[in-house]
């Protein structure tokens, strides 16, 4: 029993570390759909260039291979409200690779497809640098 508790503690500590690394504004670099991602605590806002905006909460499981993220849509297009999007992600310094399945799909992607894939959306983001002016920092 204590081994299971230890595994759960390790999983939560690893998840907390990744949640912290995900905080901030992520700007589109490449992918099939242009999107900007904002992450604060366990909340996300995804703003697509076509005007669609999705808002909700997320959970991560960085012990999965590839790392897993579940994003539950609270606000957005009516057909997706209340649905969970199963994603995979990778963090590499100031870059985030994010690959979601369609909201409500049962399975998550098993591997990262090319960024121009028609099967799954795959987007590469770069973390927005906070503005450092003469009076302190703003953003991020």
DSSP 4-67: HHHHHHHHHHHHHHHHHHH-EEEEEEEESS-EEEEEETTEEEEEETTS-EEEEEEEEETTSSSE
DSSP H or E run through 65: none
CA 30 to chain centre: 15
At residue 10, does pLDDT exceed 90? no
The CATH superfamily holding the domain 22-129 is Protein HRI1, N-terminal domain (2.40.128.320)
Residue 47 tokens, joined: 């703003």
Distance CA 2, CA 23 (A): 32
Q: What is the pLDDT of residues 113-134, one digit of tens each?
A: 987 888 889 999 999 987 555 5
Residue 75 tokens, joined: 């606000």
For the chain, the maximum distance between any two Cα atoms, rounded to a whole number of angstroms, is 55
Number of H helices, E strands in the chain: 1, 10
Task: Report the pLDDT value the prediction gives residue 22, as an integer from 0 to 100.
Answer: 96
* pLDDT band, residue 140 (cuts 50/70/90): very low
């Amino acid at each position: 029993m204590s081994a299971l508790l230890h595994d759960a503690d390790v999983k939560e500590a690893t998840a907390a570390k990744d949640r912290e690394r995900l905080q901030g504004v992520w700007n589109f670099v490449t992918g099939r759909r242009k999107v900007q991602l904002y992450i604060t605590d366990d909340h996300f806002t995804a703003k697509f260039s076509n005007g669609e905006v999705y808002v909700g909460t997320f959970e991560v499981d960085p012990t999965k291979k590839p790392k897993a993220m579940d994003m539950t849509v609270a606000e957005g297009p009516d057909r997706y409200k209340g649905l969970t999007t199963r994603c995979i992600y990778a963090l590499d310094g100031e870059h985030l690779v994010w690959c979601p399945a369609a909201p409500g799909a049962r399975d998550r992607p098993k591997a990262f497809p090319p960024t121009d894939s028609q099967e799954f959306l795959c987007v590469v983001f770069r973390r927005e640098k906070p503005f450092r002016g003469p009076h302190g920092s703003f953003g991020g």
